[in-house]
Amino acid sequence: MTRELVTARLVLRRPKPGDVDDLHQVFSSPEAMRWWSTTPHETMEKTAEWLDGMIAADPELSDDFVIEAQGRVIGKAGFWRLPEIGYILHPDYWGQGLATEALTAVIDHILATRTVERVTADVDPDNAASIRLLRRLGFEQTGAASRTWRVGGVWMDSLYFGLDRDRWKSLKTP
């Protein structure tokens, strides 16, 4: 199994228990968690539990990475459940093209190592940054649904996006 993906500014690698402090900085941030499927983690134990799940995930079903920049874990990108992509970065690192860089690497990786024909995404209609990121990478909207996630007692909606293997290849070929 591929251990790490290296890009110009990032190293994407498999998670380990020592990542809990850095990841808690991400998962306790109300800003970063605004559109996530859970409320911000209130305790380090919550993040440790989440990280244990990521570490123990079945590699047949999951292919996920933590994102490291200058020796610090700043988020995660990958597939908790194939073929749906998931990603989050600490707000200090937003707006520098880092998510574009990380997602390009994990999509390349997944299409090179698995037989999946398409990568999918589930995004809140109000999550402008994430929608822009997906469109910039070539994702196209495939559907929409209301009241798909109940987070902290509030119903949230979903837009569904997909990116086909052939489309990704054609967009990457100059």
Ligand X SMILES: CC(C)(COP(=O)(O)OP(=O)(O)OC[C@H]1O[C@@H](n2cnc3c(N)ncnc32)[C@H](O)[C@@H]1OP(=O)(O)O)[C@@H](O)C(=O)NCCC(=O)NCCS
Q: How far is the CB of 36 from ligand X (least distance, A)?
A: 6
The token pair that represents 12 in the structure block? 């994407």
What are the percentages of helix, strand and coil residues in the chain, rounded to 5?
A: 35, 35, 30
Pick the closer one to ligand X by CB: 34 or 165. 34
Residues found near ligand X in the complex (CB under 6 A): 32, 35, 87-89, 94-100, 123, 127-130, 132-133, 136
Question: Do residues 40 and 88 make contact, with C-beta atoms less than 8 angstroms apart?
Answer: no
Pick the closer one to ligand X by CB: 60 or 68. 68
Pick the closer one to ligand X by CB: 99 or 110. 99
Q: How far is the CB of 66 from ligand X (least distance, A)?
A: 13
Rg (CA), the chain: 15
Q: How far is the CB of 143 from ligand X (least distance, A)?
A: 15
Question: Do residues 74 and 27 make contact, with C-beta atoms less than 8 angstroms apart?
Answer: no
Pick the closer one to ligand X by CB: 1 or 8. 8
Tell me, what DSSP letter sits at residue 34?
A: T
Residue ranges of E strands in 23-124: 63-69, 72-81, 84-89, 118-123
Cα–Cα distance, 127 to 24 (Å, whole number): 22
Q: How far is the CB of 131 from ligand X (least distance, A)?
A: 8
User: How would you class 83 by CB atoms within 10 Å of its CB: exposed for 0-12, middle for 13-18, buried for 19 or more?
Assistant: middle
Pick the closer one to ligand X by CB: 1 or 27. 27
Q: How far is the CB of 106 from ligand X (least distance, A)?
A: 12
